[in-house]
Structure formats: C-alpha cells, structure tokens
Structure 1
Amino acid sequence: MSRISRLRSAVFGSQPLSEALGRENGFGLLRLLLALSVIFAHAMPLGVRRGSIGAIWSRGQVELGGLAVAGFFVLSGLLITGSGTRLSTARFLWNRAIRILPGLWACLLVTAFVIAPVVARREHLLDGFWSHPQGPWQYVMANWSIGTGQPGISGLLTHNADPGFNGSLWSLVYEVLCYLVVAALAAMAVLHRARWVVLGTVAALYCYMVYLAIDYPGLRAPIYIPTTLPDWRLPFLGQIGLDKLVPLGLLFGLGAVAELYKKNLRMNAIAALLSFALLVGSARYGGFYLIGLPALAYLLIWLACYMPSPLTRVGSKADLSYGVYIYAFPIQQGLALWHVQKHGYAVYTGASVVLVLVAAALSWYLVEKPALKLKNIGLPRKGIGGTAGPPQPAREPATALSA
C-alpha cells in the first residue's frame, strides 16, 4: 500500500498496524525528539536550578524528562520485540550488545579521561585527582557493565546541582533487563506460540499500577510510585528499583503487545486524537499514571506510522539519539560549571543542544556505526519461527532515554 493510501486510510478509516507501519516511518524522528527533550528538561534543575518542566502543571504527576523516558520505552518495546521474533537468541543478544556497549564504553572513557580532568582543572582540584579512591579509572570500572556503580569522579562537581557526571544512565539498567526478558521469551518460543503470556503480563502490571494509584487523591500519582517491595540487586546490572521497573516494564510491554498483535491493533486518526486528549487531560486533571501512559503509547505508534514523508528520513542514515542520550548530562554539567546558565535558560539550552549534537555525531561516526558492522558475524540469524522474517521497519533504538 502506498504512503498516500495509508494516510487516507488513517484519516478516513482504519487499518491494522501491520499494514500501517512500513519501512518509511517516524521512529527516527520521534527518538531524536525524545532525546532532545531530555536536554530541555535537564536544563531546568542542572542549569537554572528550577523545578522540572511540567511538574507543577501536572500537579506532580509527570514532567518533560519522565514523559520522554516513557515514550522511548514504548518505541523500544515495539522495535526490540520485533527483533526478538526474527532473530535467533544469540544473534539478538549480540546485536543489542554491540548497539549499546561500544558507545557506552567510549562515553565512560571520554567522561573519565577528558571531561573530568578539565573539570578538575576548573575547580582547582588536580592534586589527588588521579589517586582518589573514586578516581577516573574507578569510575570506568564501576560503570562499564551497565549499572551505575559510581556516579562521581574524585569528589568533583560538588558545587553543581548534581554531583554525578552522568545521571542519565540509570535507565540503561531497566532497558537491558527488558531486553533479557525478550530474549528469554523468544528462546522459549513464547513470542511465536504463546503471545498471550506477554499480554497477560502487561495486564497484570497494569492491575498492580491501579492498586498503587488508587491511594492518591484524584488518581494524581507520579509515574514512579514508591513501593514497599524490596529492590533487586542483579549481577552486572546492579540495583533495580521496583518503583521504576513496574511502570517502565508496562510501557515496554505496551510496545511489545503492539508488535505481537499488530494484525489486530487498528490505527486511525480519531483514536489518535482521542489519545492526545486523554494524554493532556489526565496529565492536567489526574489519572495520568493509568490513562495517560497507555494513551501516549498509542499516540506515538500512530505518529510513527503516519509521519510525513520528508521527516521519515531522520535517523535513516545517522541515528544520533543514543549519542544525545549518553553525552547530554556530562556536557550540561560542564556548561553549568562554567556558569553558562547566567545568560538565561535559552542560551544554556541552546549551547547544550549544539554541543550534544556534535558529540552525538562523533559518537555515531567514530564508534557506533563502525561497531554495527560487526552485526554480520557468524551467528545464526533465524529465530525459532524458522525464518528471518520481513525486513525491520526501522533501525532499532540503542536504548531508552533517561530523565
């Protein structure tokens, strides 16, 4: 079906997601916009030291950074689950590893051995910088395996709003845990032969969220509701907070269900407009946790399906979203240390965007893109279903965003 036909169907009728989502789609643009929105969100607490954007308006339910994280987990759930249905488990895990780890490791090295020494010189703390018990090498070793074991370096940035060098990396743990669940379900043939298990799990997570949210007046619960359940500590991943795992797992699961039931899920403009209204209305008046998050999932998937053609090219040649995600926080920390924010929010944010995009481009062309050439090593490609499946609709996201 041509793109014009799909657009006409979207406005005047409906069609299943399996038909609406073609190779030309809006995933690249949506991921980049979500990544950039985190820069705008962090500019408030890190730079001008004010409350997060949207927190007051939504009465504490959500802010811009949290909304970006939620959106990215939805898109990731759809694309990553699609990959899990097509590839062998070994190939799936290898592809995820080379998409995430080389860029992360390069960022850790740049942060520890380029950014941190510059910061130490700025703060006049070079003496003892290298021999500090939480020095740059310890920073790399503590964080190389996804989990954030050491946020700071050599006691620097104590005068900043946040003493950590990359507070955005916390969501990597939850993203990777979702990948491992997808790999396990694919290996057990659940994705092909018992997809109802995924649907039932998502329904159970939603019911638990209802249980958590009903105690809040007007259902105005924050995205990350504190729970009485103990945190988990997993090898390599570190500590997993269930207050974050439940909503993020639900969002990833909504994307996964959309992929698994793409022949049944209908896409049309009326449902998208209704989702937008529910998203905004619940964020303002209450129930965002239970109403707004599913509405956000549908709206983002619809936008990906019917993005105007020129915009579908964003990210097709160079996917900068991951680089934006991993470099934004340390760059904004550095700009705050140099007091760029004294010139106002617009100047601080504009400088952040420019420098982060440059860093993201370098990351893509020097690290991420070369690493992706290793995808075609001698691992079995076919999944349990017996075929490699149709071509992927878009380049998979490297990771979810963090606020």
Structure 2
Amino acid sequence: MDKTRQPNNIGFLRLVFASGVILTHAHEQWGQAPAGRDLLQTMTGNGLTVAALCVDAFFLISGYLIVQSMHHSRDIGSYFVKRVLRIFPGFLVAFLLSALLVPLLYGLAPDLGQIWRIAILQRPEPFAIGATIVEPNSPMWTISYEFRCYVLVALLAAFGQLERRTMLLKATAIVFALFCFCNIPAVYWRVEQFRFLPLVDMTLGAPYPALRFLSAFGFGGCAYLYRAELQAVSSRFCIIAGIIALAALFYRPIAQPAAMLGGGLLLYWAAFRANFGPLQRINDRFDISYGTYLYGYPLGIVWSFAALPFPIYVGATLLSAWAMGALSWMLIERPAQRWKSRLDGKAPALPA
C-alpha cells in the first residue's frame, strides 16, 4: 500500500498555517504591538513574516494534493469543476461580507462596483479613511495565485505532460532558480514592484509572487509524483533539513528559498509520516482552515474597535475566525463538497 495516500496531519497543519497568518496580521491591525512586527520579524529583523512562511506552506501542501486530485479525477472537466466548487463558493461569500460590511464599520457606504472582482478571485479593493488605507480582506490576494496553479495542472494534464515527472521537476527547478535570483537585494526591489500590463497582470499575476507560489506549488506537485522516493528519505535527514532552513531565516535573500527546500522536506515528513497522535484528528474531516483564512483579517478589523489588550484581541480574533471557518464549512463548503463527490466514482484519498 502506498502510505502517502493515507490521511495524516494535513488538516491539522493547514489550520495551524491559517492561524499563523491571522497572528501576523493581528500585530498590524491592533496597531500597538511592538513596532507592528510579528515574532519572526522581531527575531530576524529582515521583514520576513510568519504569514509569508505559512502561505508558502499552504502552496507546498496544495501542490501535492492538487496533482493527486487530478490523478484521481475521471477527466479534466471533472477535475476543474471540483476545483471551482472547492474555492469559489467560500471565496464568494467571504468577499461579499468583507466588501459590504467592513466599510460600514467606518461609516462608509459599500462600493458595489467592485463585485466583478469575485470572478477573477481578487481581494476587495482598499478604501481610504483620511490618510489611512484600509484593506477589507488583505490575505485574499493569494487565492487567485492558487487558482492559477489549478489551471496550470489542468493544462499539463490536457497535453499529457503531468506524468513526465523528470521534466516537471526540472521546470520547477528553473522557476525556483529565477525566484532565488529575484531575492538578491539589488534585484528584489525592482522585481517586487514591477507589474505587467493590466490584462497580463490579471492573467498571470505579478512576477515576484507568481515565481514564489509557482515554485512552492511545483515542489508540492513533484513531491506527489516522487512520493515513493520521498517516503524513503530518513526522518533524521528531514529534521536536519528543517533546522538548516530555520537557521537560514536570519539571512533574508535565502530565507524563503531555504524554507521551501529544507522546510518543505520537513513539512512533508510532518504531514505524512510524523505521529501527531490525537492532533491528527483536528481539522481532519471537518475542515475549517479555508474559512479561517478567509475570515481572520476582517474579524481582526472588527475586534480592533473593541480596544482590547493585545493577548485578548488575538484570542478573540482566532476564536471567532475558527467559528466562522466552521460555519463556512457547514453551510457553504461541505455542501459544495457533496457535489464534488458526485463527479467521481470514489472520493480522493486525501482531502483536496
């Protein structure tokens, strides 16, 4: 039996990463945390946040699961419908709630003219309160990049390239090398600010995050294609790789690339091989991680009006985000999942 096909710690890890994103933004939203910095920024002093690493981890896991989902799908059409059903319903509701309700907190009328942004998975547009720019739901910007990766998997499958794992690993390595080049300080500031023409930007996204997320997602997909070889890597080697990645966090140009490689290896060990005991059952069949990610930021805005001490503010934001994640799962995502299950003769071995 292929052990990598057995559910393990994926659900628990995704909830941890979604919560990590909330913790980073809590420092910004509360407005009085030390220098507005999260723990990682304070430790390293180089601007890298816990949220950035958590989002990279999401893409590493997603690459594995989405390539697996393509392999388990009846055809490309059923795969694509499943992906739309997984990502769009929850996004639609969270977008509307963020775009319509957050401005009301500041006494502004909602801008209904931006509803079209839902179709291309863009976050609600920010608005100005005096000299302050307010983001209704900042983390939503990553969802469009996730969906672009879904489309890429469908295209690779359509042209019969998804089985060519050596070619895909080489292609991912090239993209990753470009991402590493873009992290050289003299290059980073130019590439990070660069934008394509609007139509190209809408299709491909901005260059820096596109290279970043495609690298992480590509490594995740290759991890699935090379899952037997990955299973043979010793636990000690995975842990050592993770420790090296942790040390690399203190030097910004190599921090994220090292996290993708060494941290990614540790992540797959933790996801599919480590024994987390009862923690494995957290967020396993009742997956609140997507809703937690979608609602954490706007709920942080809501709680910022209560003038709470920072620890209580963080706790309130986390608990309410988990609660909204549960409601999103029960009322929106799980009903959509039932439609997904009808598209194939059997359900995927891992939640996708």
TM-score, length of structure 1 as denominator length: 0.78
Q: Distance in 1 between matches of 2:298 and 2:138?
A: 8
* Higher CA-based Rg: 1
Residue 348 (structure 2) aligns with: 392
Cα distance in 2 between the residues matched to 1:315 and 1:304: 13
2:199 & 2:19 partners in 1: Cα distance?
Answer: 30
Structure with a larger share of its residues in helix: 2
Structure 2: how far apart are the matches of 1:309 and 1:225? 46
* Among candidates 122, 127, 131, match of residue 147 of structure 1: 122
> Distance in 1 between the 2:161 and 2:8 partners?
27
Compared with structure 1, are the counterparts of its residues 234 and 179 closer, same or farther at alpha carbon in structure 2 (3 Å cutoff)?
A: farther
Q: CA deviation at 1:296?
A: 1.3
Is 1:163 aligned to 2:134, yes or no? yes
Match of 2:81 in 1: 94
CA root-mean-square deviation:
2.7
Cα deviation 1:49-84 (Å, max 9, x = unaligned): 512431242232521110111111100011111111
Q: Does 1:73 align with 2:59?
A: yes
Identity of aligned residues (%): 23
Amino acid at match of 2:337: L
Confirm or deny that 1:345 pairs with 2:315: no
CA contact (8 A) 1:169 1:326 kept: yes
- Within 2, Cα distance between the matches of 1:320 and 1:234? 34
2:241 to 270, 275, 290: 275
Paired residues for 1:1-400 under 5 Å: 18-19=2-3, 21-49=4-32, 50-60=36-46, 62-87=48-73, 88-113=75-100, 115-116=101-102, 120=104, 122-125=105-108, 129=109, 135-148=110-123, 150-152=124-126, 155=127, 158=129, 162-192=133-163, 194-214=164-184, 226=191, 230-231=195-196, 233-234=198-199, 237=202, 240-265=205-230, 266-285=232-251, 287-305=254-272, 306-336=274-304, 338=305, 340=306, 342-377=307-342, 381=344, 392-396=348-352
What SS class does the counterpart of residue 64 from structure 2 fall into? helix
Unaligned runs of 5+ in 2: none
Distance 1:38 1:289, change over 3 A: closer
CA distance in 2, matches of 1:326, 1:94: 21
User: Which residue identity lines up with residue 278 of structure 1 in the other structure?
Assistant: I
Give the count of matched residue pairs.
Answer: 345
In structure 2, how many angstroms separate the alpha carbons of the residues matched to 1:123 and 1:263? Answer: 54
Q: Given residue 307 of structure 1, which amino acid in structure 2 is its aligned partner?
A: N
Closer, same or farther: CA 232–374 of 1 in aligned 2, 3 Å? farther
Name the CA distance, whole Å, in 1 between partners of 2:118 and 2:227.
Answer: 37
Q: For residues 274 and 84 of structure 1, do their structure 2 counterparts lie closer, same or farther at Cα, with a shift above 3 Å needed?
A: same
Distance 1:277 1:177 in 2: 31
Deviation at 1:230, TM superposition (A): 4.6
Structure 1 Cα separation of the partners of residues 270 and 136 of structure 2: 34
Counterparts of 2:148 and 2:17, CA distance in 1: 21
Q: Deviations over 1:18-62 (max 9, x none)?
A: 53x242300000000000111111000111351243124223252
Measured after TM superposition, the shift of residue 102 of structure 1 is 0.9
Report if aligned partners of 2:44, 2:250 keep a CA contact under 8 Å in 1.
Answer: yes
In structure 2, relative to structure 1, the CA distance for the partners of 1:33 and 1:78 (3 Å cut) is same
> Which ranges of structure 1 fall in alignment gaps of 5 or more residues?
2-17, 130-134, 383-387, 397-403
Distance 1:159 1:309, change over 3 A: farther
Q: Separation in 1 of the partners of 2:250 and 2:233? A: 26
Residue type of the alignment partner of 2:276: P
Deviation at 1:171, TM superposition (A): 0.3
Evaluate the alpha carbon distance shift between residue 260 and residue 368 of structure 1 in structure 2; reply closer, same or farther with a 3 A threshold: same
AA of the residue aligned to 1:78: Y
CA drift at 1:285: 4.2
CA drift of 1:319 comes to: 0.4
Q: Aligned equivalents of 1:160 and 1:368: distance in 2? A: 38
- Are residues 141 and 285 of structure 1, via their aligned partners in 2, closer, same or farther at CA, if it must alter by over 3 Å? closer
Helix, strand or coil for the counterpart of 2:229? coil
Give the drift of 1:290.
3.1
CA–CA distance in structure 2, aligned partners of residues 227 and 144 of structure 1: 25
